[in-house]
A and B are shown apart, each in its own frame.
Chain A
Amino acid sequence: MKLKKVNRKKRDPKIRILAKKITKIPSTTEVKKGILGVEELVIEQTKFSQSTQAPRPYRTHPQDLPYQYDLDRIILQVRDPWWCHAYWEIRTQTLDRLRNELAQEFYQAKRILRVYDVSHIIFDGNNAHRFFDIKLNESVNNWYIDTQGPGRSWCVDLGLLLSSGKFITMVRSNTVHTPLAGPSWITDEEWMIPEDMFARLYGMGFGLGRSSPVGKAWQEGVKHVLSSGVSSGASPVRPLVKEKKFWLVANCELIVYGATLPDAKVTVQGKPINLRRDGSFSLRFALPDGKQVISVKAVSCDGKDERTVTPIVVRETK
């Protein structure tokens, strides 16, 4: 008989990882956008939960993806009502051509993203409502653009701004449309609803309850949802109590083992157990505090012989 010390981990590493992640995510947020969908994120993540990365061979060792595809292109995508993302690539030939054409001017030119507001028009390069420029470092190949314009259409040129103020477009993006950040101001004659009634339904749809602020600006209403503790701080992962760094867990398990004739019947505390082929056995128990009387009884196969051994184990934890 031997006593085994059992090391129990107090916290599994995943808890720490999740906790770290939850605190990490809101910190990367843009201040004014608030948070929706944190619960969904965390629950979805538990589907993929794993303790730690297991080292193992992968089925292939892919060579890497190309850095670019020998294209002149810029693609614009909507991230949310305020922000768009653009990524691009320019072929070296295109840059060489511009370098030849512009000579010295090429080196003084600034690389910029020109962001056009092209809402409700067919953009021809000159008829944008307005535009703004973002100065780029030569090495970047993508950019998050703060349009500050929900419910508008956007198109982006990547180009060179010469010292003369002349702008040369290298590539033009697709047009995208940012969604509204609140309800539409367009109403439907056939499906008319008074303003205050819609406000109430709107609040309810966001789970604000029946006493939602009626008549408040829409934006306020959304902000309330987005910034309330409910969505931003909350997640189905229970907040973990920070423990002091140093900790210890100690536990005991008990192994009872022995052997008899392979065809004997053995009971431990009155319950029959199975023997290995050679007649040996071992049993493992979690050992709580207190006294355990563990009677081990063997009866020969013909029922004539009988032996009992009764270890008594006391555990006391101080």
Chain B
Amino acid sequence: MHKGYLCLVLHGHLPFVRHPEHEDFLEEDWLYEAITETYIPLIWVFERLLDDKVDFRLTITLSPTLISMLSDPLLQGRYIKHINRLIELAHKEIERTAFQPEFNSLAVMYLEQFCKARHTFERYNHNIVNAFKAFQDLGKLEIVTCAATHGYLPLMDVCRESVRAQVKVAVAHYKSVFGRRPIGIWLPECGYHPGHDEILKEAGIRYFFSDSHGVLHGSPRPKYGVFAPVYCKGTHVACFGRDLESSRQVWSSVEGYPGDHNYREFYRDIGFDLEYDYIRQYIHPDGVRINTGIKYYRITGGTNHKEVYVPRWAQEKAAEQAGNFMFNRQKQVEYLYDFMKRKPIIVSPYDAELFGHWWYEGPLWLDFLIRKIVFDQDEIRLITASEYLIENPRNQLISPSLSSWGWKGYSEMWLQGANDWIYRHLHVASERMTELVRGFPSVNGLLKRALNQALRELLLAQSSDWAFIMGTGTHTSYAVRRTKEHLLRFTRLYEDIKSNSIDEGWLSDIEYKDNIFPQIDYRVHQ
């Protein structure tokens, strides 16, 4: 008989980066790398589990921007080009390393992995969202939604119309993709602002996740800490708090798993290591060295001296650490069960891109962990938040606290010297959008197209990713450009709409460039 639950959550998101007007665009690689290194390896994990009839439960967010890119024919075509180039490079690497068997076997491993990734991509008709949908339809995976463009909602609170639009556009998009309503939502950056649960309720959402202190600092005191969900006072939307102990085991480099010396070193990529003329056609067309995804070294130790990666050792380590993670959860659950007299739920959310992209062995670890939990023990059961609520409908009512899982736990990552200038523009744009919706409650034709595009531009400007990148202080120019570009497009649309002088040619051009959410209805912004 199990004594508690484990709710594993992977948050998959990338900002909308799509530049049809350029043949090659560096930032589009974020998507291609994540497809090869994270999303497809996760699909393999789920397929293997299904093949072996493992009854697993896992929760995953696919942000609306990520889904839109994965479903976009232009980006799909470019991914094929990208993976074909990698396959070609892997072939060359096999040849080049002929005198070095330890490198050669790794080159073969990469070639197999890339070919398999291309095959998987083709198997799902170039749209891997289909894979995740299939796992959800089989009841193994619960896909939760996110805000439309991953806008950081606490800093949008002065314009709740925008919060509403972020949520409602996401919900409508989810329905069109998955053929059902989303039950849960991953608030971007886990950012919860009191009162936003009202908007979630309006949109038909039953639960969201918050960071630990969102629940722990809520009022009144949560009787079970983060080990049971709470209902928001007034709306009864459920809030599941993150367990930091299990998070830290995976996130942290000091105690965390990904820092193990047997694991693959992220920073030693042949895009940087190899002779320039040789690697030139596989890096950026401008000749800038970038990661290719082929990496031959293991972490080795604390110095810059690196030894060759040995996959077998890494696999053994992943299995061992999966066992360690499970053991710790068993102990945690046993202790909490005695203490709470109720089955605790341990919520462990992670960035999906941690698995595979950053932590190469992450998907394998997940595979081992799920199998071990299903077959090797009885204390813990894997569960999704919605299943938990069906089994445990009686929960405490509290008002959760403002919180995020970002740097320092609140809003500072997105509100600091480097990025605070954006809010005076974003808030005015939000107000103007509300003004437009009020002024044009029901329209058709060109005007409707312009209004819909205005909302698209506003949403794209609101992506938390731009403020995040500005906040990190490096390579900020793309983030600044994107923020300004969408705000300027919005402003021109606003002015054109108000003065009844919409330039159809220009509108068509930005509709073609910023083609996200084709079904959008501007009236949700109210």
Contact = CB atoms under 8 A, between A and B. Distances in A.
Task: Determine if chain A interacts with chain B.
Answer: yes
Interface of A: 4, 6-12, 14-15, 17, 20-21, 24-25, 28-29, 33-41, 43-56, 58-60, 62-65, 68-69, 71, 75, 77-81, 83, 85, 87, 89, 141-142, 174, 177-184, 186-188, 190-193, 197-198, 200-202, 204-210, 225, 229-230, 233-241, 243, 253, 269, 271, 283-288, 292
B411 A87 contact: no
Contacts of B481: 58, 62
Query: Lowest 8 A-B CB distances belong to which pairs?
Result: A201-B225, A207-B244, A184-B219, A39-B251, A36-B409, A80-B410, A207-B245, A12-B272
A238 B417 CA distance: 27
A38 B254 contact: no
A288 to B, nearest CB: 5
B475 to A, nearest CB: 6
Contact of B409 (A37, A69, A180, A237): A37
A36 B225 contact: no
B274 A65 contact: no
Contacts of A184: 217-221
B30 A188 contact: no
A179 B259 contact: no
A51 B275 CA distance: 16
A55 B286 contact: yes
Contacts of B513: 59
25 contacts: A35-B407, A37-B409, A39-B253, A40-B405, A41-B413, A45-B472, A48-B27, A48-B465, A51-B271, A62-B488, A71-B428, A142-B424, A187-B220, A188-B398, A191-B220, A191-B223, A192-B223, A198-B225, A202-B216, A204-B332, A205-B225, A229-B254, A236-B256, A239-B253, A287-B99
A197 B339 contact: yes
Contacts of A65: 425, 484, 487-488, 491
B244 A37 contact: no
Contact of A35 (B284, B335, B408): B408
B103 interface: yes
Interface residues of B, number: 124
Contact of A235 (B227, B246, B253, B290): B253
B95 to A, nearest CB: 6
Contacts of B223: 188, 191-193, 198
Interface string B278-291: 10000010101111
Contacts of B100: 286, 288
B464 to A, nearest CB: 10
B304 A240 contact: yes
Interface stretch (B14-22, B76-84, B111-119, B444-452): B14-22
Contacts of B213: 36, 206
Contact of A238 (B157, B299, B474): B299
Nearest to A236: B253
Given A28-B416, A51-B289, A85-B415, A36 B407 contact: yes
B226 interface: yes
Interface stretch (B51-59, B120-128, B199-207, B351-359): B351-359
Contacts of A236: 251-253, 256, 258-259, 358-359
Given A77-B155, A198-B223, A285-B99, 20 more contacts: A6-B274, A37-B211, A39-B252, A49-B291, A50-B26, A53-B288, A54-B286, A54-B288, A63-B488, A65-B487, A142-B420, A183-B216, A193-B223, A201-B226, A201-B227, A204-B227, A204-B332, A205-B225, A206-B216, A271-B98
